[in-house]
Copies of this chain bind each other. A is one copy, B any other.
Amino acid sequence: MSQPLADSALDQLFRTARTYNGYLDKPVSTEQLHAIWNLMKMAPTSANQLPARLVWCVSQEAREKLAACSAPTNAPKIMSAPVAVIIAMDTQFQEQLPWLFPHADARSWFTGNDALRERSAFINTTLQAAYFIMAARAIGLDTGPMTGFSNEAVDAAFLPETPDYKSVMISTLGYGDPASIFDRSPRPDFDVFNRIA
C-alpha cells in the first residue's frame, strides 16, 4: 500500500508545474526522451492498446517543418523549445494486439466496428498524451501541449509513409523559461464540477 508522495513531488507534477511558451537554452538528451517513453508506456490503456506513435522533432529542420504546420502563435513556441513532439494515433492499432495483449483475442473486438476502433485509438492516444506530460514533469522537464496546428499538414509532412497514423496533439519539451508563462487561470473548487453519489 502506497503513501502520498511528498509535497515537493506533488508540486512538481501538478501544483507549480505550468505550460511553458518559451524555453531556456539548455538541451534535452536522447536519454531523457527514452526515459519519458519508458515511464509513459507503463501507464494504462484499454487492453494495453498503446496506440500512440511519437515523432520527436529535435533537429532545427524538423522543428521548422512543424512550426510551419502550426498556428502562427504556436510557431515561435516550437522554435524556442529544444524538442517538440508529435503525438499521433495508429488507427490500425488493433494489428499489434496479438503481442501487446496476449491474454485474449482483442484484435477481433474491432473487426467490422470502425466507430469503436476510431474512438478507442483517439481516447487511448489522448490518455498517453497526458501520461507524456506527467512523465516529462516527473523527470524534471516542462511541456507546452497544444492542439493549434493543422492535422492534415502535420500528417502530410511527418507521416506520409504511415497513412494509418493521424496526429492528435503536439507538445514542446525542455526547461521552461519562467518569463514565458501567463498568469494561472482559475481552478474551481470540488463542488463546482464534482458530485458525490
Chain A interfacial positions (CB closer than 8 Å to B): 1-6, 9-10, 12-15, 17, 19, 24, 30, 33-35, 37-44, 46, 48, 50, 52-59, 62, 99-103, 120, 122-123, 126-131, 133-135, 137-142, 145-147, 158, 168-169, 175, 182-183, 185-188, 190, 193-197
Contacts and interface: CB of A to CB of B under 8 A. Distances in A.
**Shortest beta-carbon contacts, A-B, top 8:** A130-B130, A62-B197, A48-B185, A126-B126, A2-B140, A14-B39, A14-B42, A4-B139
B196 A58 contact: yes
A55 B197 contact: yes
A159 B88 CA distance: 32
A114 B140 CA distance: 38
A78 to B, nearest CB: 13
Nearest to A86: B197
Contacts of A54: 193-195
A113 to B, nearest CB: 13
Given A56-B194, A57-B197, A127-B130, A14 B2 contact: no
B134 A13 contact: yes
